[in-house]
Structure 1
Amino acid sequence: MSAPGPLVVVGDALLDVDLVGTASRLTPDAPVPVVEDVETRERPGGAALAAVVAAAATSREVVLVTPVADDEDADRLRALLAGRVRLVEVPAAGGTAVKRRVRVGDHSVVRIDSGAPVAGVGPLPAEAAAVVRDAAAVLVADYGRGTSAAADVRAALAEARGPVVWDPHPRGADPLPTARLVTPNGAEATRVAAAVGVAAEGAGLAAVGARAEALIRHWGVGAVAVTLGARGALLSYGEGAPMVVPAVPVSGGDPCGAGDSFAAAAALALADGAVTGEAVAVAVAFAGAFVARGGASAWDRAWDAQPQPEPEVAVAPGADAVIARVRAGGGTVVATGGCFDLLHPGHVATLRAARGLGDCLVVCVNSDESVRRLKGPSRPLVTAADRARVLEALEFVDAVVVFDEDTPAEVLDRLRPDVWAKGGDYAGADLPEAAVLRRWGGQAVVLPYLDGHSTTALVERSRV
């Protein structure tokens, strides 16, 4: 059951500005591009970005506790936050930190930073201490400007009743031992581990795991999740085998803000009652989606931090594209079908042989309801989504399509393969699908059956 309180983000708020333009020539006096037609785009940065990303992903109230200076940049930051998060200001001196990226299309050319490197953090207001104490979860978004090092801030964090997620910074203070989860990226983990005498050479998982264990010993925290960009994240509790959560590959996108989105999603999941491993899995998926949808530049969009239920019927969107590509090259499209409940060596042999008949293999799989009608109420043993996922992982399967009917006639009429291959005891008999294939000149064929292997036999043996 989720706690009723807000998610509270504590840390250093920044103002991020993107100056986005075009470039078609270099300056005559230096090998640098001339950026023209510049558009200015402002957004919250640092802890403020983590807060607005979290707020866009939940109906839970999000409160940002952060030092705010008295200047025009701070006013612009307040305006960006208005109506999105509740801002609890801590008095600050030194001016608002502003990071300006000059970008040409999707590529950064240079970043220009202004503002004091460390903010003068004033006393923590009573309202701030109260919201931290009563939060459903707290995210510390440390950007090295002094907030996490302030004594009264640390005292308030030590009294937090909800789980604390700490996103560290090389110039920031050490996380408190009460933190449930600390989320350094790979470079941060390497730097801190080296400082405490653990070099752990290399980028392999063994080295990353050793660094994570070293950080847990050094900080005394509950767990460390080292974020590894496109590789996902490694979660360690300091002993035993670590958990590795792979990321879904993302092409393009802006990785700026990925760490903030990861930490925000993990904190939201913990606030909703998830255990640490579940929270990290949610965070990896959320960060990948965040990058794919535009990253920090899409900060004002609505996001979903929770994993979505998968549909019972999984239709591979790539089937049509695979068929079109093969046909464009004059190749042969092969299809086969079945329930594929408990994939066994007989299935594998048939699929491999079918793929050898042409240039691609599309597998047509009976949906769960279709299997129940054909095999009885106790089947399938594996859902259609999972059966499709296993089949797609085979190197000789190019696409999977799940159909609801009792026979694949309708899906075959849509796909129109050149060859329909069926394994089993059909030699010399007319396959039921043969008449459908004849409509466009396709050929139905029978493949040798690997005797002694069947799902029904496997089920019967398991009952003995």
Structure 2
Amino acid sequence: MRIVVVGDVMLDVDLSGEATRLSPDAPVPVVDVTGTRRRAGGAGLVARMLAEDGWPVTLVTVLGDDDAGRQLQDHLAGVRLVSGPSGHASPVKTRVRAGSHPVVRFDQGCDKPPVPEMTGAMLRAVEEAGVVIVADYGRGVAANPQLRSLLARLAAGIPVIWDPHPSGPEPVPGVAVVTPNLAEATKAAAAYSQDREASGGQEHADPATAAAQTLLTRWASRAVLVTRGEDGALLVRADEPEPLAVPAPRVAAGDPCGAGDRLVAGLAVHLLAGRPLPEASALAVQEAADFLAAGGVSALPDRAVEEQPSGPAPRGSSGPLLRTTEPLLLARAVRGSGGTVVATGGCFDLLHAGHVRTLAAARELGDCLIVCLNSDESVRRLKGPERPIIGQHDRAELLLAMECVDAVMVFDEDTPEAALDRLRPDIWVKGGDYKGARLPESDLVERWGGRCLTVPFHPARSTTGLAEALAKVS
């Protein structure tokens, strides 16, 4: 099942260097910049973390039509992105660091924009979720009325995790857990301080407990998890009278940026796996600490794709790289958890019922299904100059829209052997038209202990037949 992250994204820029002198113009340090890193921030960072761990994740957000918006798309490579127009400049937050110490941050395009619209595709993507993370950064996505109505309905059936922002709206009622940090929780609770019934009129020595109890009632959520940095977190639940302290291990971490994002990503994974909230919270706090100990956001790999050349795309190209769940990361994560990786392949030019049945049957054989898809040039060499009818990026998008498909790997060769050697699935599936014959890929797949299987084939349904019927209509 897919994790959906919905919320605001921004472009984070880190300028790093050394400061060994003061400016002659003013008593401020001069930083000799030796490195520049850009990454997707906000909801984009949460989605990137999940994708890096190999989880099927969809990011639902809005993007500006500007250079920063295009850079954000590049830095979200590996994430299935469903976006609409923001109608506003993309926010950019630039941090300057001298060694490991922050010196200054300056923001561009960060004035509060109007609440953006939700497209039908964005709302449908949220409905596909097995768990939802609302990563609110106060820029309006979480305030959209259609989205809020949908999230309130979904919260009755799936875990919804709400990471709030002081400038954002209140969470919708019924969410599984809200995750403010201590400063956010005490500030929000103070705003409701005149409502004595919100805390039952009780006084608490612990400000985190008092704030969490107030917000639990005010927000009508099932739980509030107040994060407290090196002191861990405090979990207050609607169905439990006593708060639960969640300790954090002591780690040496210079930059806490991204710890909250790592925590909500971990919560989503563990709640999706069916773990109870206290256990999921303890694991997520541990993982956030591990994330900081390993270097935090500075240790994340740069997944930006190469800049696309201007002008029309060459023949055989489909333009910018399709952003999907990274198949190799997904395979690694599934194998690491003891699961079975299933793969199948083909051109899938004009999807029809035969394809759908074959893919659904293949997915039943394991814990994820990765489709090895012939590129446009590969299809052209195999099928002739008039094919494919649909380009590889549209074909991949259609496949990813199917619930049974977890990732797509596009390959340029005439056969999938090279892709299979990189992916190394446990099971390689072909349609039943190979029944009774040894599959061409059998020797290769068996080399790493994999198996080749066939699933039922439906001969009355074919792309060629469908194309010929469409040609008669036109």
Give the TM-score taking structure 1 as reference length: 0.61
Distance in 1 (alpha carbons) for counterparts of 2:24 and 2:213: 52
**Alpha-carbon deviation of 1:37?**
3.5
Q: Which runs of 5+ in 1 are unaligned?
A: 310-464
**Alpha-carbon deviation of 1:23?**
1.0
Is 1:27 the counterpart of 2:23? The answer is yes
Q: Which amino acid aligns with 2:108?
A: S
Asked if the contact 2:115/2:143 (under 8 Å) is kept, the reply is no
Counterpart mapping for 1:177-188 below 5 A: 177-188=173-184
SS of residue in 2 equivalent to 1:297: helix
In the TM superposition, what whole-angstrom CA distance separates every residue of 1:256-296 from its partner, at most 9, and x where no partner exists? 01111111111111111111111111110110011111112
Asked if the contact 1:52/1:299 (under 8 Å) is kept, the reply is no
SS of residue in 1 equivalent to 2:282: helix
Distance in 1 (alpha carbons) for counterparts of 2:52 and 2:110: 29
Q: Which runs of 5+ in 2 are unaligned?
A: 303-328, 338-474
Is 1:63 the counterpart of 2:58? The answer is yes
SS of residue in 1 equivalent to 2:97: strand
Hey, what does 2:75 align to over in structure 1?
A: 80
**Alpha-carbon deviation of 1:205?**
7.0
Is 1:206 the counterpart of 2:213? The answer is no
Counterpart mapping for 1:302-451 below 5 A: none
Bigger Cα Rg: 1
Which structure has more RCO (C-alpha within 8 Å, separation ≥ 6)? 2
Asked if the contact 2:82/2:125 (under 8 Å) is kept, the reply is no
Hey, what does 1:117 align to over in structure 2?
A: 111
**Alpha-carbon deviation of 1:236?**
0.2
Distance in 1 (alpha carbons) for counterparts of 2:218 and 2:16: 42
Counterpart mapping for 1:161-240 below 5 A: 161-197=157-193, 206-238=206-238, 239-240=240-241
Is 1:91 the counterpart of 2:92? The answer is no
SS of residue in 1 equivalent to 2:279: helix
**Alpha-carbon deviation of 1:33?**
0.6
Hey, what does 1:137 align to over in structure 2?
A: 131
In the TM superposition, what whole-angstrom CA distance separates every residue of 1:44-87 from its partner, at most 9, and x where no partner exists? 10010011112222x331000011110000000100112x2111
**RMSD of the alignment, in Å?**
2.4
**Alpha-carbon deviation of 1:305?**
10
Q: Which amino acid aligns with 1:249?
A: R
Hey, what does 1:432 align to over in structure 2?
A: none
Asked if the contact 1:11/1:65 (under 8 Å) is kept, the reply is yes
Q: Which amino acid aligns with 1:224?
A: V
- Residue 126 to residue 249, structure 1, CA distance change in 2 (3 Å): same
Q: Which amino acid aligns with 1:220?
A: A
Q: Which amino acid aligns with 1:229?
A: G
Asked if the contact 2:116/2:140 (under 8 Å) is kept, the reply is no
Distance in 2 (alpha carbons) for counterparts of 1:228 and 1:48: 23
- Residue 255 to residue 305, structure 1, CA distance change in 2 (3 Å): farther
Distance in 2 (alpha carbons) for counterparts of 1:162 and 1:103: 41
Asked if the contact 2:10/2:92 (under 8 Å) is kept, the reply is yes
Distance in 1 (alpha carbons) for counterparts of 2:193 and 2:114: 32
Distance in 1 (alpha carbons) for counterparts of 2:181 and 2:38: 25
Q: Which amino acid aligns with 2:261?
A: D
Asked if the contact 1:185/1:227 (under 8 Å) is kept, the reply is yes
Asked if the contact 1:254/1:292 (under 8 Å) is kept, the reply is no
In the TM superposition, what whole-angstrom CA distance separates every residue of 1:228-263 from its partner, at most 9, and x where no partner exists? 000000000145111111100011342101111111
Asked if the contact 2:163/2:180 (under 8 Å) is kept, the reply is yes
Asked if the contact 1:235/1:242 (under 8 Å) is kept, the reply is yes
In the TM superposition, what whole-angstrom CA distance separates every residue of 1:3-53 from its partner, at most 9, and x where no partner exists? xx2100000001000011111001123221111133211011001001111
Size of the alignment, in residue pairs? Answer: 299
- Residue 41 to residue 205, structure 1, CA distance change in 2 (3 Å): farther
SS of residue in 1 equivalent to 2:86: strand
Is 1:281 the counterpart of 2:282? The answer is yes
- Which segments of structure 1 move beyond 6 Å, counting only runs of 4 or more? 301-306
**Alpha-carbon deviation of 1:94?**
1.5
Distance in 2 (alpha carbons) for counterparts of 1:75 and 1:243: 43
**Alpha-carbon deviation of 1:129?**
1.3
Q: Which amino acid aligns with 2:162?
A: W
Asked if the contact 1:143/1:168 (under 8 Å) is kept, the reply is yes
In the TM superposition, what whole-angstrom CA distance separates every residue of 1:303-335 from its partner, at most 9, and x where no partner exists? 9999x99xxxxxxxxxxxxxxxxxxxxxxxxxx
In the TM superposition, what whole-angstrom CA distance separates every residue of 1:184-215 from its partner, at most 9, and x where no partner exists? 00000000110000799xxx972211110100
SS of residue in 2 equivalent to 1:143: coil
In the TM superposition, what whole-angstrom CA distance separates every residue of 1:400-431 from its partner, at most 9, and x where no partner exists? xxxxxxxxxxxxxxxxxxxxxxxxxxxxxxxx
Is 1:46 the counterpart of 2:42? The answer is yes
Asked if the contact 2:15/2:33 (under 8 Å) is kept, the reply is no
Q: Which amino acid aligns with 1:298?
A: A
Hey, what does 1:106 align to over in structure 2?
A: 100
Distance in 2 (alpha carbons) for counterparts of 1:129 and 1:159: 12
Q: Which amino acid aligns with 2:70?
A: D
